[in-house]
């Protein structure tokens, strides 16, 4: 979206830079469903393969998520693997 003309120069410069940064963001690729697993199956290796994924650890009865380096519990925030 172009920045409107007639704005004060500092505001126009700020909005132009903001628009430039926002246009550089990647468009969402859609949703990935959560998966069922056991906590013993979660490792650092598969955390990298499943970065930004959410699953349900049935033995822990909680959601788990990967930051690309390790798995975390959603209920306590504790690191799993």
Which long-range contacts does 55-62 make (Cβ < 8 Å, 24+ apart)? none
Based on the fold, state whether residues 78 and 47 are members of the same structural domain.
yes
Based on the fold, state whether residues 62 and 45 are members of the same structural domain.
yes
Q: What pLDDT shows up at residue 12?
A: 92
Q: What pLDDT shows up at residue 15?
A: 93
**How many domains is the chain built from?**
2
Based on the fold, state whether residues 56 and 72 are members of the same structural domain.
yes
Could you report the per-residue pLDDT of 3-41, keeping only the tens digit for each? 888 999 999 999 999 988 888 787 777 787 899 999 999
Could you report the per-residue pLDDT of 57-76, keeping only the tens digit for each? 999 999 999 999 999 999 99
Residue 8's domain comprises 1-29
Based on the fold, state whether residues 58 and 81 are members of the same structural domain.
yes
**Is a pLDDT exceeding 80 seen at residue 48?**
yes
Tell me, rounded to whole angstroms, the distance of Cα 31 from its chain centroid.
12
User: CA 69 to CA 81: how far, in whole Å?
Assistant: 9
| pLDDT mean over 29-55 | 90
Based on the fold, state whether residues 39 and 17 are members of the same structural domain.
no
User: CA 61 to CA 9: how far, in whole Å?
Assistant: 55
Q: What pLDDT shows up at residue 62?
A: 96
Based on the fold, state whether residues 36 and 73 are members of the same structural domain.
yes
Based on the fold, state whether residues 36 and 13 are members of the same structural domain.
no
């Amino acid at each position: 979206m172009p920045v409107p003309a007639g704005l004060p120069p500092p505001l126009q410069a700020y909005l132009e830079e903001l628009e430039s940064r926002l246009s550089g963001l990647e468009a969402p690729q859609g949703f990935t469903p959560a998966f069922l697993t056991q906590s013993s199956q979660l490792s650092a290796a598969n955390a990298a393969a499943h970065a930004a994924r959410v699953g349900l650890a049935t033995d822990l009865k909680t959601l788990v998520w990967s930051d690309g380096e390790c798995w975390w519990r959603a209920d306590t925030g504790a690191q799993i693997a």
